[in-house]
Amino acid sequence: MALVLEFKLPDLGEGLTEAEIVRWLVEVGDVVDIDQPVVEVETAKAMVEVPCPYGGVVTARFGDEGTELPVGAPLLTVAVGSSAETSGKSDSGAGTADAEPAAADSGSGNVLVGYGTGAPPVRRRRVRPDGLKATGAAPAARVVAVPVSPVSPAFPISPASPASAAASGRGTGPVAVVSPLVRRLARQHDLDLRRLSGSGPDGLILRADVESAIRSAAEAPAEAPAEAPAVAPAVPDEAPARAAGERIPLRGVRGAVADKLSRSRREIPDATCWVDADATELMAARAAMNSADGPKVSVLALLARICTAALARYPELNSTVDQEAREIVRLPQVHLGFAAQTERGLVVPVVRDAHARSTESIGAEIARLTEAARTGTLKPAELTGGTFTLNNYGVFGVDGSTPIINHPEAAMLGVGRIVPKPWVYEGQLAVRQVVQLSLTFDHRVCDGGTAGGFLRHVADCVEQPALLLRSL
């Protein structure tokens, strides 16, 4: 007999509440070691391999690839004990029903938020599942003593109890919803969660259940006009339009970007100012630096170094607003974010302590983070904590933009393409390398004079890079 331990999706940190299964790394019946990665998931921040804190035989997996699970939902179950491992490794068919359950391993050495190195002693008695609590919290981990079959290592999962059925939203009982995003989606579409039957473990209502109910409600007038739909469209004429066309879920990176930009627009009274600058001398300085031996310097690295110098003069723009306390918080360090477009969508990696780095160091870190962004290996900590963002949209061949501030920061500098244009230089009309710079700033932290002074200093350093030496 072996102990079956249920491993749930752990809290991956940074306020993440859900993750999408990208790829299973183990099959039912496989023997896994402690801290062995068992599944690759995609959060709103990055791709993460999740290690299992138990060692034993995988008896069940929850969710197909592409399924979105909330934090606390079961990922898989593992039969722990020497008998379980024997049945997983051996094909001899020897019975192990009478074997005594072995003690579980002392715990995982690979820490993720939500479980750690000191797993508590395993409970040996059979525990009846209690379903989800009315608060929507995930059920406690279940430990069940069951015999291990050498023929089929996949153990059946017991059906939900009556308490679980009530919690799943059928009838008038509590609603089994863990994810606040699922609740918000239901509220937006005036959907009564108590009418839904969750497809997740123990009747847990997932995002897919809510989206399916919304689609059914939109199609209900044509299919069953006599029945009241679970969701009534706000405008009846919109039902045919909602049913037509390609529907792309706002989730993962795209969903996180949508939520953050929407919040920025709601909370921040932003304003934008811009200026054209002659970047000819900056490009000449870059060419001279790159003619020498050593790492090459990018335009983005030079602009990042100019930004840190300007923020030292205008610290108001390296701040955030505490709305509850009604205070402006000026931040001592500059953690410089930069916008990077990837196949997974727009991400903003962060160069830590950019104010203390040289141009070469900033360039090396930008290159490292950009490569990690393209391969999807950025860690959540590398995508958060920025205090100011640099957005080089000139790489898309455009001259100007009014960027949206990366909440909760106070400003963002946008850089257009650098192109030859007519320019008055030393009293004569000449063709120069011109760039448009735009600054979007939170009007709560400063007035236009401060924002204009910052942008003018950036433009002056672009036109005369030697001015940057005064800031060193």
Clarify whether residues 150 and 220 are in a common domain: no
Is the domain of 438 the same as that of 331?
Answer: yes
* Bigger pLDDT: 409 vs 72: 409
Catalytic residue among 335, 355, 407, 443: 443
344/389 same-domain check: yes
What is the pTM (predicted TM-score) of this model? 0.55
Q: Is 189 a catalytic residue?
A: no
Across the chain, mean pLDDT equals 77
CATH number at residue 414: 3.30.559.10
As a whole-number percent, the residues of the chain with pLDDT over 70 amount to 71
Q: What is the pLDDT of residues 373-422, one digit of tens each?
A: 888 888 888 988 999 999 999 999 999 988 899 999 999 999 999 999 99
Instruction: With a cut of 50, say whether residue 168 has pLDDT above it.
Output: no
> 209 and 112, same structural domain?
no
Last residue of a domain, one of 102, 123, 158: 158
pLDDT given at position 399:
93
The rounded percent of the chain whose pLDDT value lies above 90 is 44
Residues 281 and 313 in one domain: yes
- Residues 147 and 214 placed together within one structural domain of the fold: no
Do 333 and 460 sit in the same domain of this protein? yes
| 211, 270: one domain | no
pLDDT of residue 44: 66
**224 shares a domain with 304:** no
- 261 compared with 419, residue with greater pLDDT: 419
Answer yes or no: do 349 and 462 share one domain.
Answer: yes
From 1-5, 318-322, 356-360, 439-443, the region with the lowest mean pLDDT: 1-5
Q: Are residues 270 and 411 in the same domain?
A: yes
> Residue 31 has what pLDDT?
92
Find the domain containing 218 and state its range.
Answer: 167-249
* Top mean-pLDDT range of 161-175, 289-303, 409-423: 409-423
Residues 108 and 179 in one domain: no
**Three-state secondary structure string covering the chain:** CEEEEEEECCCCCCCCCEEEEEEECCCCCCEECCCEEEEEEECCCCEEEEEECCCEEEEEECCCCCCEEECCCEEEEEEECHHHHHHHHCCCCCCCCCCCCCCCCCCCCCCECCECCCCCCCCCCCCCCCCCCCCCCCCCCCEEEECCCCCCCCCCCCCCCHHHHHHECCCCCCECCCCHHHHHHHHHCCCCHHHCCCCCHHHCCCHHHHHHHHHHHHHHHHHCCCCCCCCCCCCCCHHHHHHCCCCCCCCHHHHHHHHHHHHHHHHCCEEEEEEEEECHHHHHHHHHHHHCCCCCCCHHHHHHHHHHHHHHHCHHHCEEEECCCCEEEECCCCCEEECEEECCEEECCEECCHHHCCHHHHHHHHHHHHHHHHHCCCCHHHHCCCCEEEEEHHHHCCCCCCCCCCCCCCEEEEECCCEEEEEEECCEEEEEEEEEEEEEEECCCCCHHHHHHHHHHHHHHHHCHHHHHHHC
Which of residues 158, 192, 214 is at a domain's end? Answer: 158
Confidence of residue 167 (pLDDT cuts 50, 70, 90): very low
* CATH number of the domain encompassing residue 144: 2.40.50.100
166 pLDDT above the threshold of 70: no
User: Domain boundary at 121, 137, 158, which?
Assistant: 158
Query: Domain count of the chain?
Result: 3
